[in-house]
Amino acid sequence: MSSLRATLDFLLYDWLKAERLTSHARFADHSRETFDAVLDTCERIAREKYAPFNRLVDTQEPQAVDDGQGGLKVVLPQATHDAHEAYVASGMVSAAQDYDEGGMQLPYTIEAAANGFFATASVSIGSSLLTKGNANLLMVHGTEMQKEVFARNEFAGRFTGTMCLSEPQAGSSLSDITTRATPDGDDFERDPLGARYRLKGNKMWISAGENELAENIIHLVLAKIPGPDGKLIPGTRGISLFIVPKRLVGTDGQLTGERNDVALAGLNHKLGWRGTTNTLLNFGEGKSPVRGSAGAIGYLVGKPHEGLRCMFHMMNEARIGIGMAATALGLAGYYASLDYAKNRPQGRPIGPAGKDAAKPQVRIIEHPDVKRMLLAQKAYGEGALALMLYCALLVDEQKTGTPEDAEEARLLLEVLTPIAKSWPSEFCLEANSLAIQVHGGYGYTRDFPVEQYWRDNRLNMIHEGTHGIQAADLLGRKVVMEGGKGLQLVAGRINRTLESALQRPDLAQHANDLAKALQHVGAATKAAWATGDPQAALANAVPYMQAFGHVVIAWIWLDVLLTVPDRGRTPAQVGRVQAARYFFHYELPKVPAWLKVVETRDPTCADTPEEAF
Residues 317 to 356 in contact with a copy of itself, rule: CB under 8 A: 338, 342, 345-352, 354-355
CB 290 within 8 A of CB 267: no
Cα–Cα distance, 112 to 491 (Å, whole number): 25
* Beta strand pairing call for 296-301 and 216-224: unpaired
Compare residues 295 and 323 and give the one whose CB is closer to a copy of itself: 323
Binding to a copy of itself by residue 143, rule CB under 8 A? no
Q: In this chain, which of 24, 30, 203, 367 binds a copy of itself, going by CB under 8 A?
A: 367
Binding to a copy of itself by residue 440, rule CB under 8 A? yes
Compare residues 471 and 521 and give the one whose CB is closer to a copy of itself: 471
With a CB cutoff of 8 Å and minimum separation 6, the contacts of 492 are: none
Compare residues 205 and 390 and give the one whose CB is closer to a copy of itself: 205
Cα–Cα distance, 274 to 525 (Å, whole number): 39
Cα–Cα distance, 225 to 479 (Å, whole number): 34
Within residues 191-250, the interface with a copy of itself by CB under 8 A covers 204-205, 234-237
Choices 11-19, 216-224, 290-298, 578-586; region in contact with a copy of itself by CB under 8 A? 578-586
CA distances from 543 to 28, 172, 379, 384, 548 (A): 43, 20, 20, 18, 9
Binding to a copy of itself by residue 375, rule CB under 8 A? yes
Q: In this chain, which of 396, 451, 464, 599 binds a copy of itself, going by CB under 8 A?
A: 451
Choices 69-77, 289-297, 385-393, 442-450; region in contact with a copy of itself by CB under 8 A? 442-450
CB 417 within 8 A of CB 474: no
Compare residues 287 and 372 and give the one whose CB is closer to a copy of itself: 372
Choices 187-195, 212-220, 401-409, 570-578; region in contact with a copy of itself by CB under 8 A? 570-578
Site string for a copy of itself, 263-282 (x = CB under 8 A): -----xxxxx----------
* Beta strand pairing call for 196-207 and 247-249: unpaired
Dihedral sign for Cα atoms in the order 461, 463, 469, 473: negative
State the nearest-atom distance from the C-beta of 173 to a copy of itself, in Å: 4
State the nearest-atom distance from the C-beta of 56 to a copy of itself, in Å: 15
Choices 24-32, 40-48, 169-177, 216-224; region in contact with a copy of itself by CB under 8 A? 169-177
Binding to a copy of itself by residue 513, rule CB under 8 A? no
Compare residues 150 and 427 and give the one whose CB is closer to a copy of itself: 427
Helices (H), 284-367: 307-311, 315-343
State the nearest-atom distance from the C-beta of 73 to a copy of itself, in Å: 21
Residue 492, Cα to own-chain centre: how many angstroms?
Answer: 26
Choices 12-20, 107-115, 291-299, 446-454; region in contact with a copy of itself by CB under 8 A? 446-454
State the nearest-atom distance from the C-beta of 591 to a copy of itself, in Å: 8
Q: In this chain, which of 63, 251, 361, 519 binds a copy of itself, going by CB under 8 A?
A: 361
Nearest-CA neighbor of 71 among 231, 241, 209? Answer: 209
Q: In this chain, which of 476, 497, 517, 549 binds a copy of itself, going by CB under 8 A?
A: 476
CB 153 within 8 A of CB 94: no
Compare residues 470 and 525 and give the one whose CB is closer to a copy of itself: 470
Site string for a copy of itself, 520-549 (x = CB under 8 A): ------------xxxx--xxxxxx------
State the nearest-atom distance from the C-beta of 339 to a copy of itself, in Å: 10
What does the CA dihedral 571, 574, 580, 584 come to, rounded to 10 degrees?
-150
Paired strand residues for 300: 242
Cα–Cα distance, 59 to 56 (Å, whole number): 5
Compare residues 476 and 486 and give the one whose CB is closer to a copy of itself: 476
State the nearest-atom distance from the C-beta of 246 to a copy of itself, in Å: 23
Q: Could you give the count of Cα atoms lying within 13 Å of 398 in the half-sphere of its Cβ?
A: 19
Q: In this chain, which of 458, 478, 510, 520 binds a copy of itself, going by CB under 8 A?
A: 458
Site string for a copy of itself, 55-94 (x = CB under 8 A): ----------------------------------------
Within residues 171-190, the interface with a copy of itself by CB under 8 A covers 171-173, 175-176
State the nearest-atom distance from the C-beta of 568 to a copy of itself, in Å: 14
Compare residues 228 and 571 and give the one whose CB is closer to a copy of itself: 571
Known catalytic residue: 587? no
Dihedral sign for Cα atoms in the order 128, 133, 134, 138: positive
The SS3 assignment for 243 reads strand
Compare residues 86 and 379 and give the one whose CB is closer to a copy of itself: 379
Choices 209-217, 252-260, 471-479, 490-498; region in contact with a copy of itself by CB under 8 A? 471-479
Dihedral sign for Cα atoms in the order 439, 445, 449, 453: positive
State the nearest-atom distance from the C-beta of 148 to a copy of itself, in Å: 35
Selecting among 397, 464, 587, 599, the annotated active-site residue is 464
Within residues 115-134, the interface with a copy of itself by CB under 8 A covers none
DSSP state letter for 584: I
Cα–Cα distance, 279 to 219 (Å, whole number): 12
Binding to a copy of itself by residue 371, rule CB under 8 A? yes
Compare residues 65 and 605 and give the one whose CB is closer to a copy of itself: 605
Cα–Cα distance, 206 to 163 (Å, whole number): 7
The number of residues that bind a copy of itself (CB under 8 A) is 108
Dihedral sign for Cα atoms in the order 332, 337, 338, 344: positive
* Beta strand pairing call for 262-267 and 278-283: antiparallel
* Strand ranges inside 105-261, DSSP E: 159-164, 180-183, 196-207, 216-224, 239-245, 247-249, 255-259
Dihedral sign for Cα atoms in the order 167, 170, 173, 178: negative
Compare residues 160 and 540 and give the one whose CB is closer to a copy of itself: 540
State the nearest-atom distance from the C-beta of 420 to a copy of itself, in Å: 19
Within residues 377-436, the interface with a copy of itself by CB under 8 A covers 378, 433, 436
Nearest-CA neighbor of 560 among 187, 44, 17, 106? Answer: 17
Nearest-CA neighbor of 108 among 409, 389, 311, 382? Answer: 389
Residues with catalytic roles: 464
